[in-house]
Structure 1
Amino acid sequence: MGDFIIAFADWIWGTPMLVVLMGGGSILLFHSGFVPFRKIGHAISLLRGKYDDSNIPGQITSFQALSSAIAATVGLGNISGVAIAITMGGPGAIFWMWVSAFVGMATKFYTCSLAIMYRGKDSRGEVQGGPMYVIEEGMGKKWKFLSYIFCIAGVMGLLAIFQANQLTAVFRTVILEPAGLDEGEKTKWIIGITMMIIVAIVILGGIKRIANVASKLVPFMVGLYFITVLIIVFKYIGDVPDMLVKIVTDAFSGEAAAGGAVGAVIIIGARRAAFSNEAGIGTAPMVHGASKNNEPIREGLIAMLGPFIDTIVVCTLTALVIMLTGVWQTTESDGVRLTLAAFDTALPGVGRYLLMVAVLIFALSTMFTYSYYGHKCFNYLFGADKADYYNYFYLITIVAGAVASLQVVVSLVDGMYAVMAIPTMISTFYLAPKVKAASKDYFKRMKSN
């Protein structure tokens, strides 16, 4: 079963996803008139709450929506995902992560605008957003099978197994192994059960509690990680230009990649970027669709900041730390252990503990938000009265993630992400002219105010 999951993920993340996400996103970037580049200043002023109105239907503010979305995206994809990209594709994979991010900003602008434009209601009459409602409300009932495909893949792919796996690895490496307290499988079970209890306390309180916790945790965790990484970058500041040149030149040579082909580097970069910023997958529209905003374009502009913060800023800093310290060439470690080795090399004694705190907060905040995504998919499939059962299934899989193999865990999540992207991108293309028309109208009104 494990071999099948790995083979499926490798196949679908080849040409199929490259065409869907990179190709599709590039078309949307042109179609939007390069909105991510032209309107980023306006997006930042929106994020500061300039136009918030608490009387508009929805469950959370736009800032809380972006915080929750970033809590899910700025996470272990930025710490261990970048390490996996460099291990498999060399520094050049980071260049293709950048390309994916700018393309992803356009994709997120469209998908999250549509999430407000075509909101639906669940079986309890609660206003909901997300690709499944966009498909049903915007494309019509005959396309509803795409909503089911999205939600079935979401229930399986939006589990916190990767976060549980990597958090367990960090805790064992940093705290237990040096103290001689690691007992192998038994330790994994204890850590898994502890994580399950912590996550249960937050997620059983619903989206408002999740958003409340995320909007407090996210600025803190990004700030802590940012400061630590900047200290390391400044320590090696003389080597930074060489590293940036290496990222660009390797992107077109493929020298450091396993297999040595440029195509392999592009695929690795695109795959890790999609896991990191989730543009085109359809997760962010679910949380942005719950925001108190009746201006679709405004929500789309706020949402497009996600891939920029996530991939251009945070992933680049992580990549620089791994490259500047040279650990990617001198150690057999993979995933989060590689980033841990880099922090240890740069800041002996304290680096590993600072990273552990960041990983702890990154992983837990992602676990909180993912539960909301999966809950919404389950709600759509089985009705609001049964949706809470999903939370119990979700909590049990945290323990499973803690004890499973990393490769199988990454491949299962990657495979389901790819399946979710297909209905999301089909609906986005189908309804893109509606976003374009609404965008023209919105900016015309902004000029006249």
Structure 2
Amino acid sequence: MELIKKAINGILRSMGMVNSVLKSVENTIIDLSNWIWDLPLLLLLMGGGIFFLFYSRLLPFKHFWHAIAVVRGKYDSTSGVGQISAFKALSTALSSTLGMGNIAGVALAISMGGPGALFWMWVSAIVGMATKYYTCSLSIMYRGTDDSGIVQGGPMYVITEGLGKRWKPLAIFFSIAGIFGSLPIFTANQLTQVLNDVLVPVFDLTSSVGSSLLIGVVISILVSIVIFGGIQRIANYASKLVPLMVVLYFLSVSYILFVNHTQILPVFQQVFSDAMTGNAVLGGSLGSIIIVGVRRAAFSNEAGIGTAPMAHGASKNVEPVKEGLVAMLGPFIDTLVVCTLTAIAILVTDSWKDPNIGGVTVTLSAFVKTMPQFGAVLLVFIVSIFALTSLFTYSYYGAKCIAFVFGTRYKKFYNYIYVLSISLGAVSSMAGVVGLFDISFALMAIPTMLSAISLSAKVNQATREYFKKLSMNTNVI
């Protein structure tokens, strides 16, 4: 009996040491995340976006309705280059951005930076539209082929094909960061959190590591069914599910706003006021609120990060400008529409003021307060679909990055790691997961923005030629 007691005490001490090490690692990740998302990266993303905005003379925005026509298929190419249509490329890109970034990411932004963070998310989205126009135009302009001979696009190919082979180390740097940035740990973490909050109590169970692990395993199985089918299957699912979920989410949040309509105007006034002065309740300075807004907007719409160019680079479009215009719609739909709806719903219900909840639970609270009978189930359904489509798409991004560095034969190997990491994300702490995600996105942004700025003159030249052909009624493929 004495030996058993000693063994148990030894195990407990070991577990305590492991927890202490994990906590130390988590704190290091959070500190590194806060350091890397300071002024230099803010200048790169926002400064680069402002440069694109004025360098193009606002041209992409002048042709917003032309971009809508392209998405509708009016100018679809008959070329066999690429793997999916422009609409499916946009849906695939949106399936990664329209997800936890819009529901949990916005909640994080409001909780950390107050109402004023939303204003800076708007600013980031506006310049992000110009950024996506350039980065995704380049993803078509400078496509390469992988070692199996399939045409591919993305920042890694923009760097090697546009800047030259001597810049390949920068492309590898992006790809390695992309391997980690594409892991599903944040989405799995937040999906598990909302399922623990809503579904687990239905079965008279208590949320625990065990329930989180079980949820993670189930999610892994569902994701596996789709991701091993490649980009075509991912795009097919995304093109069907994303539009449906956007409409359902829009209607749900619109109902919340209708019920709380008297609070909408005061909330907007608070957003603009806090954006310029900081939030006294949260003790945030103006600089910190700007960083929070830009940081969460980057997580939400991914402009300048490099993920969207990988999806748009798979489009059958052979005209770079058309694809850039399609991609430009992403931040508009993602941040200016969906994120705004989420943020206003959180603000009018005051769910963001509860210090005991965070992440997706803040949005869940807004739904439950307004729709106590079915709000929780409705959000669980929406979150589940959004999260699953995000998980489908990120697997493609990560596999594409690993194929660039190690070869296409390792893509399936990455998918196995990807599926296993879903369970890891399900049982991890939110703070550490968000920090790791932010670090990876920051590292991906550096080569993406540097290459896009370096090659921006090429995009301007292609833009002039495209609209010249269009004005002359020339067939623009």
Confirm whether residue 367 of structure 1 aligns to residue 391 of structure 2. yes
Task: Specify every segment of 5 or more residues in structure 1 that has no aligned partner in the other structure, as ranges.
Answer: none
Confirm whether residue 202 of structure 1 aligns to residue 226 of structure 2. yes
- Residue 183 of structure 1: how far off its partner (Å): 4.9
Alignment of 1:135-214 (within 5 A): 135-214=159-238
User: Of 229, 239, 248, which aligns to 2:253?
Assistant: 229
Aligned position for 1:75: 99
Kindly tell me the number of residue pairs found equivalent between the two proteins: 449
- Aligned residues of 2:138 and 2:459 also touching (Cα < 8 A): yes
Aligned position for 1:35: 59
1: CA distance between counterparts of 2:61 and 2:321? 15
TM-score (norm 2): 0.93
Alignment of 1:42-441 (within 5 A): 42-256=66-280, 258-441=282-465
- Residue 330 of structure 1: how far off its partner (Å): 3.8
- Aligned residues of 1:89 and 1:256 also touching (Cα < 8 A): no
- Residue 260 of structure 1: how far off its partner (Å): 2.5
- Aligned residues of 2:89 and 2:315 also touching (Cα < 8 A): yes
- Residue 157 of structure 1: how far off its partner (Å): 1.1
1: CA distance between counterparts of 2:78 and 2:187? 34
2: CA distance between counterparts of 1:354 and 1:166? 16
- Residue 2 of structure 1: how far off its partner (Å): 1.4
| Superposed CA offset, 1:58-92 (max 9, x none) | 10000000000000001111001111001100000
* SS at structure 2 position matched to 1:60: coil
| Superposed CA offset, 1:115-170 (max 9, x none) | 00000000001000000000000000111111011000000111111110011111
- Aligned residues of 1:83 and 1:334 also touching (Cα < 8 A): yes
2: CA distance between counterparts of 1:264 and 1:326? 22
2:36 partner amino acid: I
1: CA distance between counterparts of 2:48 and 2:158? 18
2: CA distance between counterparts of 1:299 and 1:429? 18
User: Of 427, 443, 449, which aligns to 2:467?
Assistant: 443
- Aligned residues of 1:122 and 1:128 also touching (Cα < 8 A): yes
- Aligned residues of 2:196 and 2:207 also touching (Cα < 8 A): no
- Residue 41 of structure 1: how far off its partner (Å): 1.0
- Aligned residues of 2:159 and 2:451 also touching (Cα < 8 A): yes
- Aligned residues of 2:82 and 2:316 also touching (Cα < 8 A): yes
User: Of 21, 24, 40, which aligns to 2:45?
Assistant: 21
2:218 partner amino acid: T
Give the ranges of 4+ consecutive aligned residues of structure 1 lying more than 3 Å apart after TM superposition: 256-259
2: CA distance between counterparts of 1:216 and 1:44? 18
Larger Rg: 2
* SS at structure 2 position matched to 1:26: helix
- Aligned residues of 1:154 and 1:377 also touching (Cα < 8 A): yes
2: CA distance between counterparts of 1:332 and 1:444? 57
For the structure 1 residues 95 and 200, does the alpha-carbon distance in structure 2 shift closer, same or farther, using more than 3 Å as the test?
same
Q: RMSD in angstroms over aligned alpha carbons?
A: 1.0
- Residue 386 of structure 1: how far off its partner (Å): 1.9
| Superposed CA offset, 1:23-82 (max 9, x none) | 111011001111342111111111100011243311000000000000000111100111
1:402 partner amino acid: A
* SS at structure 1 position matched to 2:409: coil
2: CA distance between counterparts of 1:258 and 1:110? 36
2: CA distance between counterparts of 1:183 and 1:241? 38
1: CA distance between counterparts of 2:156 and 2:61? 29
